[in-house]
Amino acid sequence: MFNTQALYAWIALLAFSLGWIAQGWHRDNIALEQRMLITAIEDQANMDACLDLQLFVYVLEENYP
């Protein structure tokens, strides 16, 4: 049986990892305070994305059992 929730979790993890690697390349010239602000924004965005993913999976399970 194909596990769609595992697939969505893997896609989210891959997207986060690629974004994290890409942003690491240009951070060398950014001041510490700016890095801390960017990290806080990214953390909030990741939490929002996780909630969206959980809601999406819930809607799929409710509509397509």
Three-class DSSP labels, 4-57: HHHHHHHHHHHHHHHHHHHHHCCCCCCCHHHHHHHHHHHHHHHHHHHHHHHHHH
Given this model, what pLDDT does residue 1 score?
47
- Tell me if 63 is assigned to some domain: yes
Residue 63 pLDDT > 70: yes
What is the domain range of residue 56? Answer: 29-65
CA angle 3, 18, 50 (to 5 degrees): 50
Output the CA torsion sign for 35, 32, 40, 7.
Answer: positive
How many domains in the chain? 1
- Tell me if 24 is assigned to some domain: no
- Tell me if 41 is assigned to some domain: yes
pLDDT band at 2 (very low <50, low <70, confident <90, very high): low
Please report, rounded to a whole number, the percentage of residues in the chain having pLDDT higher than 90. Answer: 0
Q: Among 24, 48, 50, 59, which residue's Cα sits nearest to residue 38?
A: 24
Given this model, what pLDDT does residue 28 score?
58
- Tell me if 53 is assigned to some domain: yes
- Tell me if 62 is assigned to some domain: yes
